[in-house]
């Protein structure tokens, strides 16, 4: 008699996994959560009375090939933080408060301790963002993934009052750019980073470089910064005109996404110190400067656009909230074929 386990899917392991992660998931619940673990759908009560015109904001993302570093190090407790960060940072730039999160974990054969470690990171990310983990899917697909590997996807939903949506429409020449520091590569550019560091330079995750104070694997696994709570506080206290999450494409590709027509940015690269990991990639791979800035965040994870009169207040408040900030550029009139992001030294 053939069973599902014979085909490579272990239902008992799945049940054990649910039992082990249930306390982690419940630790993220907000008062609006109306369901417990195990339902077909997660129920969340929207407190619409708090808003004049509530607008839901959604985002989805993954961790990308940063997962390859987790496989090489056999460390899986941080990539869940990355998963939450990449989603909630995308929705908070609209001024939205993250409400709830759902995850998708897929693997060839479910290794319960490893999967539990991943979920610990997801729960920690949700706590940092202030959102509830109200659902997810664990898919065991034999022969679909390489042995010991898995993939992750995440989905976040937030809410913002329509009159308070941040969309960049009010940005004008003379406004300034405030950069909030990243914690490293975050979850972008790992295909290039791995090619340079592991394939070309023949380094391993245990290698130590003169630029770095930790083994390479630890540096590459540094979790993505979650800016949600800090940005929501800044929005309440300071006039913010636009916010850009600096993900794949770097400042070059992401900053213009918040611009109205008729403006562009001058970014002063000397305004902040580029973290050593980026310097190592550029040096070992002989990666051109412009390529680095259109692939990686280069040490700036989020950019706020504010009026010049509000700049110092925003910098001081962001720094006090735990996000080192500095003025990295200005908004100027757009003209002709000049790039929307111009770098000056």
Q: How confident is the model at residue 9 (pLDDT cuts 50, 70, 90)?
A: confident
The phi and psi torsions of 22 (rounded to 5 degrees) equal -55, -45
Q: How confident is the model at residue 271 (pLDDT cuts 50, 70, 90)?
A: very high
Q: Over the stretch 177-217, which tens digit does the pLDDT of each residue have?
A: 999 999 999 999 999 999 999 999 999 999 999 989 999 99
Q: How confident is the model at residue 18 (pLDDT cuts 50, 70, 90)?
A: confident
Residue 121's pLDDT is: 98
For domain 11-164, give the fold: 60s Ribosomal Protein L30; Chain: A; (3.30.1330)
Average pLDDT estimate for 57-69: 97
Question: Residue 130: which residues within 8 A CB-CB, separation 6 or more?
Answer: 30, 97, 98, 228, 229
Contact 103, 152 (CB under 8 A): yes
Q: Which residues on neighbouring strands pair with residue 264, listed in sequence order?
A: 332
Average pLDDT estimate for 47-73: 95
**3-class DSSP state of 33:** strand
Q: Which residues on neighbouring strands pair with residue 97, listed in sequence order?
A: 159
341-344 and 300-306 strand pairing:
unpaired
Q: How confident is the model at residue 13 (pLDDT cuts 50, 70, 90)?
A: confident
CA torsion 60→122→54→229, rounded to 10°?
-120
Best CA proximity match to 166, nearest among 254, 100, 91, 60: 91
Token couple for 45: 């009560």
- Which residue's entry shows tokens 């239902």? 11
CATH architecture of the domain formed by 176-344 = Alpha-Beta Complex (3.90)
pLDDT of 66 over the 80 cut: yes
Q: Over the stretch 273-332, which tens digit does the pLDDT of each residue have?
A: 999 999 999 999 999 999 999 999 999 999 999 999 999 999 999 999 999 999 999 999
Residue 105's pLDDT is: 97
CA 3 to centroid of chain Cα atoms: 40
Rounded Cα–Cα distance for residues 277 and 30 (Å):
37
pLDDT of 7 over the 90 cut: no
Contact 128, 18 (CB under 8 A): no
Residue 19's pLDDT is: 86
Q: Over the stretch 103-157, which tens digit does the pLDDT of each residue have?
A: 999 999 999 999 999 999 999 999 999 999 999 999 999 999 999 999 999 999 9
Best CA proximity match to 61, nearest among 4, 23, 22, 104: 104
pLDDT of 4 over the 80 cut: no
Q: How confident is the model at residue 246 (pLDDT cuts 50, 70, 90)?
A: very high
Residue 147's pLDDT is: 93
Rounded Cα–Cα distance for residues 228 and 301 (Å):
12
Q: Is the dihedral of CA 48, 49, 53, 59 positive or negative?
A: negative
Residue 123's pLDDT is: 97
Domain ranges of the chain: 11-164, 176-344
Rounded Cα–Cα distance for residues 295 and 293 (Å):
6
- Return the half-sphere exposure (C-beta side, CA atoms, 13 A cut-off) of residue 337: 0
């Amino acid at each position: 008699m053939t069973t599902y386990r014979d085909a490579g899917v272990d239902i008992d392991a799945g049940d054990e996994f649910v039992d082990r992660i249930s306390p982690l998931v419940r630790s993220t619940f907000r008062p609006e959560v109306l369901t417990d673990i195990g339902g077909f759908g997660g129920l969340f009560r929207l407190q619409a009375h708090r808003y004049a015109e509530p607008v839901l904001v959604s985002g989805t993302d993954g961790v990308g090939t940063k997962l390859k570093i987790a496989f090489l190090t056999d460390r899986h407790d941080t990539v869940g933080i990355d998963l939450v960060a990449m989603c909630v940072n995308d929705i908070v730039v609209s001024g939205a408060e993250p409400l709830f999160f759902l995850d998708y974990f897929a693997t060839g054969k479910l290794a319960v301790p490893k999967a539990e470690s991943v979920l610990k990171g997801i729960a920690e990310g949700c706590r940092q963002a202030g959102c509830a983990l109200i659902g997810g899917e664990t898919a065991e697909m034999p022969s679909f993934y390489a042995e010991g590997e898995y993939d992750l996807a995440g989905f976040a939903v937030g809410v913002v009052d329509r009159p308070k949506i941040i969309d960049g429409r009010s940005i004008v020449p003379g406004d300034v750019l405030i950069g909030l520091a990243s914690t490293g590569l975050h979850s972008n550019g790992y295909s290039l980073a791995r090619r340079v560091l592991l394939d070309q330079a023949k380094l391993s995750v245990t290698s130590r470089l003169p630029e770095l104070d930790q083994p390479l694997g630890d540096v590459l696994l540094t979790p993505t910064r979650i800016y949600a709570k800090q940005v929501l506080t800044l929005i309440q206290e300071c006039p913010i005109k636009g916010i850009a999450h600096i993900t794949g494409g770097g400042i070059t590709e992401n900053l213009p996404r918040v611009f109205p027509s008729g403006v562009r940015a001058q970014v002063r690269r000397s305004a902040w110190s580029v973290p050593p990991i980026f310097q190592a990639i550029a040096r070992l791979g002989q990666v051109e400067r412009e390529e680095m800035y259109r692939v990686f965040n280069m040490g700036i994870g989020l950019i706020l656009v504010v009026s010049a009169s509000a700049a110092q207040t925003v910098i001081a408040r962001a720094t006090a909230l735990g996000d080192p900030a500095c003025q990295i550029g200005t908004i100027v009139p757009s003209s002709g074929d000049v790039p929307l992001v111009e770098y000056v030294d």
